[in-house]
Amino acid sequence: MPVTPTKKEPGTAERCLDIAERLVQLRGFNNFSYADIARELGITTASLHYHFPGKAELGHALIARYTERFLAALGYIEHEQSDANAKLEAYAGLYADVLRDQRMCLCGILAAEYQTLPEPMRAAVTHFFDENQKWLVAVLTQGQADHTLRITGSTDELAHTIISTLEGAMLVARPYGEPAIFNSTTRHLLGSLTN
């Protein structure tokens, strides 16, 4: 009889990143401390420094993990959806899922705090958006080639518009606690691209 592997409990570093991600998505990077994380984990701040020597290192690891997960989600969309319209809907769905949990896109929040972030974190935030941009350009190019999307102008500019619209729609929907505002914006945006 085959043995089903049990899911491994996350270690302290992983749990620290989980808590930090939630705190950034709710409060922003500058509005939490190691003490907040240590309190939730029931450990000392000195123990956190073992895993992440400083908040900048924690932030960089946080963005790297978030980007890796997001890119894996894009890879899944690419694998599961063949149609450019369906890919764009699934992409918008990634943002909707985060908002549904009453959180914001991690890199969207960090972009708002960009000027106050350490340089490695700034570069990592830019990398996140650059990777999204590349993926969207490929999807838009596909839709343009097979005439399933109505595209005027450059695919680069349109990809920027999509990212900016989704991030902005999250921000506007947040104070109302109303995902319907985000969903309405998404429908209009994607509807404007459909042939």
The pLDDT score that the predictor gives to residue 10 is: 66
Residue 5: phi and psi, rounded to 5, are -65, 140
Domain membership of residue 109 as a residue range: 62-191
Within a domain: 36: no
Instruction: Residue 101: give its domain's CATH number.
Output: 1.10.357.10
Q: Tell me the C-alpha distance between 116 and 101, whole Å.
A: 26
Average pLDDT of the chain is: 92
| β partners of residue 149 | 194
The pLDDT score that the predictor gives to residue 106 is: 96
Whether 6 has a pLDDT exceeding 70, the answer reads: no
Within a domain: 39: no
Total domain count, the chain: 1
The pLDDT score that the predictor gives to residue 9 is: 55
Within a domain: 21: no
Within a domain: 25: no
The pTM score is 0.90
Within a domain: 177: yes
Give helix 179-191 / helix 155-173 axis angle, nearest 10°. 160
**DSSP run (H or E) holding 76:** helix 55-80
- Between the CA of residue 173 and those of 31, 178, 187, what are the distances in Å? 21, 6, 14
Within a domain: 104: yes
Lowest mean pLDDT among 6-15, 17-26, 72-81, 91-100: 6-15
- Between the CA of residue 85 and those of 45, 50, 70, 140, 142, what are the distances in Å? 47, 46, 19, 9, 10
Q: Tell me the C-alpha distance between 133 and 162, whole Å.
A: 9
Q: What is the pLDDT of residues 51-77, one digit of tens each?
A: 999 999 999 999 999 999 999 999 999
Within a domain: 160: yes
Within a domain: 172: yes
Contacts with 113 (C-beta within 8 Å, 6 or more apart), sequence order: 28, 29, 30
